[in-house]
Amino acid sequence: MDLPSTKPYLIRAIHQWCCDNGFTPYLVVAVDARTRVPREHVRDGQIVLNVGYDATAHLSMGNDSISFQARFGGVARDIAIPIGNVSAIYARENGAGMAFEPEDRSTSEDAASSEANQDSPPDPPPSPVSRARLQRVK
């Protein structure tokens, strides 16, 4: 039995720690076709977002995705981010937070397609998922 990822729990914990201590939580997101963010603010394939309660509306941090509404240039935009695309969460004021290893989306897609095709021989088990590691981000 596969255990659920600790990543969404760690993201929520660091977010709460930032808010409880008066820091501004920033989220670093790898942007791909699955992310819904303002593309004009994407730099080098990633975007950094303020996810503090003062900067967001309807913030929802689930186990599979993070969604909220935020203003960019005075215009409210809906944001949706798969948890697998979160690269880091940190406090803007001091850089304390956590960075995450990139998740290999092809492994989960391969597992889903092999489950759908029961007649084929089973694939070898996927390599172990990278563990989250603590890293200071500035």
- What's the burial of 17, exposed, middle or buried (CB within 10 Å: 0-12/13-18/19+)? middle
In a domain, 136, yes or no: no
In a domain, 90, yes or no: yes
**Structural domains counted in the chain:** 1
Q: Which residue has the higher pLDDT, 126 or 85?
A: 85
Token reading at 60: 């929802």
Q: What is the pTM of this model?
A: 0.74
Token reading at 92: 């803007």
In a domain, 127, yes or no: no
In a domain, 51, yes or no: yes
What average pLDDT does this structure show over 56-84? 96
Give dist(CA 138, CA 131) in Å, integer. 21
In a domain, 124, yes or no: no
Where in the sequence is the domain holding 34, given as residue range(s)?
7-114
Q: Which residue has the higher pLDDT, 65 or 113?
A: 65
pLDDT band at 101 (very low <50, low <70, confident <90, very high): confident
Q: Which residue has the higher pLDDT, 87 or 136?
A: 87
pLDDT band at 91 (very low <50, low <70, confident <90, very high): very high
Report the pLDDT value the prediction gives residue 1, as an integer from 0 to 100: 77
- What's the burial of 100, exposed, middle or buried (CB within 10 Å: 0-12/13-18/19+)? buried
Q: Can you give the CATH number for the domain in which 30 is found?
A: 2.30.30.220
Compute the chain's Rg from CA coordinates.
Answer: 17
pLDDT surpasses 70 at 105 = no
**Mean pLDDT lowest for which of 61-65, 93-97, 111-115?**
111-115
Report the pLDDT value the prediction gives residue 130, as an integer from 0 to 100: 44
